[in-house]
Amino acid sequence: MREEPFSWWAHAHARTDAAALAAFRILFGLLVATSALRFLAFGWVDRFFVAPRFFFPYWGFGWVAPLPAPWIHGAFVVLALSGIALALGLFYRAAAFTTFVVFTYVELLDVTNYLNHYYLVTLLSLLMCFLPLGRAYSLDARRTPALAVTTLPRWVSWLLRFQVGVVYVFAALAKATEDWLVHAQPMQIWLASRTDTPIIGPLLDRLEIAHAMGWAGFLYDLTIPLWLSWRRTRPFAYGVLLLFHLGTQMLFEIGMFPAIMTTAALVFFSPSWPRRLGRALGLRPAAAPPDEPGHARWTSARRASAMALAAWCVVQVLVPLRAHAYGGNVLWHEQGMRWSWRVMCREKNGSVVYRVRADGWAHERFVPPTRYLTDHQAREMSTQPDLILALARHIADVQRARGFAHVEVRVDAFASLNGRPMARLIDPDVDLASVAPSLAPASWILPAPEGPPIRLTRRTIAAVD
């Protein structure tokens, strides 16, 4: 009997057990709900969204405005409820859409709150608005049996694997720098600050340990998607992943990122892994449904869907690469830094004082950022040129509102990258009040300082302590 030629289209539409994708939906929804409840319980809603008097908008999203105190708390309650509904598969499409809209709204309120894993949650929740994850093992499936399925197309898993893999690969490429691989910075700085860690603390001030951990982090990010994709190495790779994220959580306290990546990595597992886990725990889950060959016809609607998915994947690759179009050191000028998965790849500190001149003033007036910002905002702003520009323009607007027609704002901004001596970050002669925000290369940002970063010695660490 003649075999039909292999077809990627048919292979992508072959239906496999939906148990793994349902487990991903459940765990993702619970993480969203947990994150929202943490913000409410620990007072972070007030700290980040009520206390500030000025918010840093993203370019093109200046129209996104914060809600007043009672309503912003309500937004987090809605987010927690939508996460729970997503986990239960209750009104799945509405829950996914609500999660995406509310989470993204909160994320867009202030750039100083940006974190890579927040961006990942936004992307995954947007994808889930269109993926059929609510048709299996959900309350929706129980309410409407006609919608219930036990299998889903293979391409759904492929898409989620691609999205998670992009994070790891670009996080690795961001570490492929001389500072990280040759000088072990900023890893040495971070480890030297944790010498009080029980048991392993005395080892953390050694340069060879910083080198080893830096290279381990680089190789881990670069290769973990491959090891998770290969069935034979998958269990060992996931064990390494658990240890890696447990270690980073203990040493660096990076919030929900380890939990999110630990959950997201499950999309690489076999479609029936929840059933196998159930049997290993002594449970008796239903038998896995047999895989079904793909029979999806190449219609105009499916062609449009395939093109949309291809466009999504292209964008996910191009957006992180855009930083290279600016030239220079992106860790210094930070143009293209966000949304490029540069996860924990630099240690940067800054100092900023504005110099304001207006009509009728005899002298320049020095304005500290804390006059307008919370401590958290001031710390984050001090190393990010576009935020320094945004506050300069706000200071000018405040003075114009007071009746001064001509206002100039300059800045003395210094920054230290990976322990280097402080250097000027912004041209002090440029009137930032006259500079419009733009995605174009910024000539008012000074070049990064040359030379290697600091190399800590035991004497240096003892002096700092």
Q: What are phi and psi of 306, to 5 degrees?
A: -65, -40
Q: Which of 357, 348, 320, 329 is nearest to 433 (CA)?
A: 357
181 in Cβ contact with 218 (< 8 Å): yes
pLDDT tens per residue, the chain (465 residues)?
455 566 777 888 889 999 999 999 999 999 999 999 999 999 999 999 999 999 999 999 999 999 999 999 999 999 999 999 999 999 999 999 999 999 999 999 999 999 999 999 999 999 999 999 999 999 999 999 998 999 999 999 999 999 999 999 999 999 999 999 999 999 999 999 988 888 888 889 899 999 999 999 999 999 999 999 999 999 999 999 999 999 888 888 788 899 999 999 999 999 999 998 888 888 877 777 887 777 667 677 778 888 999 999 999 999 999 999 999 999 999 999 999 999 889 999 999 999 999 988 989 999 999 999 999 999 999 999 999 999 999 999 999 999 998 999 999 999 999 999 999 999 999 999 999 999 999 999 999 999 999 887 655 554 444
Q: Which of 22, 17, 23 is nearest to 290 (CA)?
A: 17
> Exposed/middle/buried for 286, CB within 10 Å: 0-12, 13-18, 19+?
exposed
Alpha-carbon distance of 160 to 48, in angstroms, equals: 31
Q: How far is C-alpha 430 from the chain's CA centre?
A: 32
- Domain segments of the chain: what residues? 13-149, 152-281+302-327, 347-464
- Taking the C-alpha atoms of 250, 253, 256 and 258 in order, what is their torsion angle to the nearest 10 degrees? -40
347 in Cβ contact with 185 (< 8 Å): yes
DSSP conformational letter for 414: E
Q: Which of 329, 359, 364, 332 is nearest to 348 (CA)?
A: 332
